[in-house]
Structure 1
Amino acid sequence: MELNEFVKKGHELYLRHISIDCVIVGFHDEQLKVLLLKWKENGQWCLPGGFVRKDDSLDVAATRILRERTGLQDLYLQQFHTFGDPARERNKEQFLWPRTMPPGSWMHDRFISVGYYALVEFSQVTPQPDLLTDECHWCDIHDVPDLIYDHNAILDKALETLRMRLNDYPVGLNLLPARFTMPELQRLYETILDTPLDRRNFQKKMLAFGILERLTERKTGGAHKAPYLYRFDRKKYEKALKQGLKFGF
């Protein structure tokens, strides 16, 4: 669908007043990064988002939006909050340029947004802008600029939720390569939590949960003794995602 057709007839395909905003998180060079899009014409940044087709569930819509922005088919995503403050789209008119979206367009409606976060492996993502944006890039979470609407608050809530979930559910399958070392896994957790962790205590807890498989190979090329490589036991990992674990970080 072209932009002009989307503006004029989008309400025939999508639900009015409901949108989805996605916090797409990747881990690269020991940095936690979030995918951002650059809004056309005014150059401001935003989170990836989209709308719910009339015959789609929220999860199906979120999966479609994430696939379109990342190129990935198999995604881990989690609904984390609904944002409905009447003032959340303050200054909305500056983003809906009159030349393209004249008054009366469904895009001027008030939208309640459902937030999802997705954990993806950075190297597998091919960032793609959408109809309303012309750039899509990764940004370190510590360097995120002022975003449109309430998108900074949405990002903060997603990170808060992710950090809280670390106490009950495993993380890493979608953020690390298939084979990784224990120090690499620990650095991932430290980056998400934004705090250092005790090495021995971390390793003891992670091994006790039985979701890791230690391989016979070691990682080579380092200055110190080569650490063993690990991989997640996918069945046990997915079971832990459903039933939960008490990490206690």
Structure 2
Amino acid sequence: MRQNDTLDFVHHGDKYFLHHLSIDCVIFGYHERQLKVLLLKWKNAEKWSLPGGFIKLEETLEDAASRILTERTGLSQLFLQQFHTFGEPKRSVRTAADIAHLESIWKTDVPKEHWLLKRTVSIGYYSVTEYSQVNPQPDYLSDECTWHDIHSIPQLVFDHNLIVTEALKALRMQINLQPIGYNLLPKKFTLPEIHDLYETILDKKLDRRNFPKKLLSLGIIKKLDEQKSIGAHRSPFLYKFDKRKYDKALKEGIVLAF
């Protein structure tokens, strides 16, 4: 956002955005048995937050969430799920230091009665992706956009730690109702690889015999006539998602209940 754009946003943002309503995105990244979350470090401050933004007047909620997701990751058409609305009266209170910090970055005064400083209700969305494919991009108010392990997330601004907690709950619940993995695994994968994915997301051990049986019985993955060479006497068969059945399961839901 350029300086002239910033001035226009602060003083005339009501022409472009809905007031008191925002979107916060919890972007989960998976890679080699690690689950991470994408966070922004505020410019000139030791504060961290989730990627988020406001909703344009003529924009749907899903379009706004997709735009924010693409701006931060460089990726599009990722799995995106609305999971909760956060509206506690004091959730977005800004201190005098916060306001001074914003003004120092924007290089303009923000009127005390400005809608940006009032209570804001946030709609939470989560997404999942293979994080090695992401090119993290900070926004105008941030110095960094980096991945953090799900088990070592720093103290975040406002109620963003709660938003991450609720997003993780939703992801784990959803994984029992919808297949998660198309954006997280290679096009061809082994049963141990998809097993490790589900164990990492759920943070619990899964039976190595019953787990693949359940996935195969649902028909959302299928065995290929190919094997992956990973060492002496180790050449497990490769599998891939049946995209038609996968999309149908996403739309209609399934019961995995691991």
TM-score (ref. length: structure 2): 0.92
Structure 2 runs not aligned, ≥5 long: none
Q: Encode CA deviations 1:72-104: one digit per residue, 9 max, x unaligned.
A: 121110000000001212444433324335334
1:88 and 1:150 in contact (8 A); partners too: yes
Matching residue's letter, 1:221: I
Q: Does 1:137 align with 2:143?
A: no
1:30 is aligned to 2:39: no
Q: 1:223 and 1:139, CA in 2 relative to 1: closer, same or farther beyond 3 A?
A: farther
Match of 1:243 in 2: 252
Q: For residue 174 of structure 1, what is the aligned residue in structure 2? A: 183
Q: Distance in 2 between matches of 1:6 and 1:127?
A: 24
Pairing partner for 1:151 from 142, 145, 160: 160
Distance apart, 1:219 and its partner CA: 1.5
The answer for the alignment partner of 1:61 in structure 2 is 64
Do the aligned partners of 1:46 and 1:147 also contact (CA within 8 Å) in 2?
A: yes
CA offsets, 1:54-74, max 9 Å, x none? 001111111111111111121
2:126 aligned partner, one-letter code: Y
Deviation, 1:223, is: 5.1
- Please tell me whether the aligned partners of residues 30 and 131 of structure 2 are also in contact (alpha carbons under 8 angstroms): yes
**What residue number does 1:215 align with?**
224
Query: Which letter does structure 2 place at the counterpart of 1:39?
Result: W
Measure how far apart 1:12 and its partner are.
Answer: 1.9
Alignment-mate amino acid for residue 10 of structure 2: V
**One-letter amino acid of the counterpart of residue 53, structure 1:** K
* Aligned mates of 2:233, 2:157 — CA distance in 1: 46
1:50 match: 53
2 CA distance for matches of 1:93 and 1:169?
44
For the structure 1 residues 223 and 152, does the alpha-carbon distance in structure 2 shift closer, same or farther, using more than 3 Å as the test?
Answer: farther
TM-score normalised by L of structure 1: 0.95
Q: Does the CA-based 8 Å contact 1:121-1:176 persist in structure 2?
A: yes
Q: Cα 1:50–1:111, aligned 2, differ >3 Å: closer, same or farther?
A: same
- In structure 1, the residue matched to 2:90 is 87
**Measured at CA, do residues 242 and 191 of structure 1 come closer, stay the same or move farther in structure 2, by a change above 3 Å?**
same
Aligned pairs for 1:175-190 within 5 A: 175-190=184-199
Counterpart of 1:225 (choices 214, 227, 234) is 234
Q: Which letter does structure 2 place at the counterpart of 1:7?
A: V
Which residue of structure 2 lines up, in the alignment, with residue 78 of structure 1? 81
Distance 1:184 1:157 in 2: 26
Q: Equivalent residue for 1:115?
A: 124
1:196 match: 205
Which SS does the other structure have where 1:6 is aligned?
helix
Q: Secondary structure at the residue paired with 1:199? A: coil
Aligned 8 A contact 1:7 1:106 in 2:
no
Asked whether the equivalents of residues 92 and 149 of structure 1 are also in contact (C-alpha less than 8 Å), the reply is no
Percent identity, please: 53
Instruction: Please state how far the C-alpha of 1:243 moved relative to its aligned partner.
Output: 1.0
Q: Distance in 2 between matches of 1:92 and 1:212?
A: 51
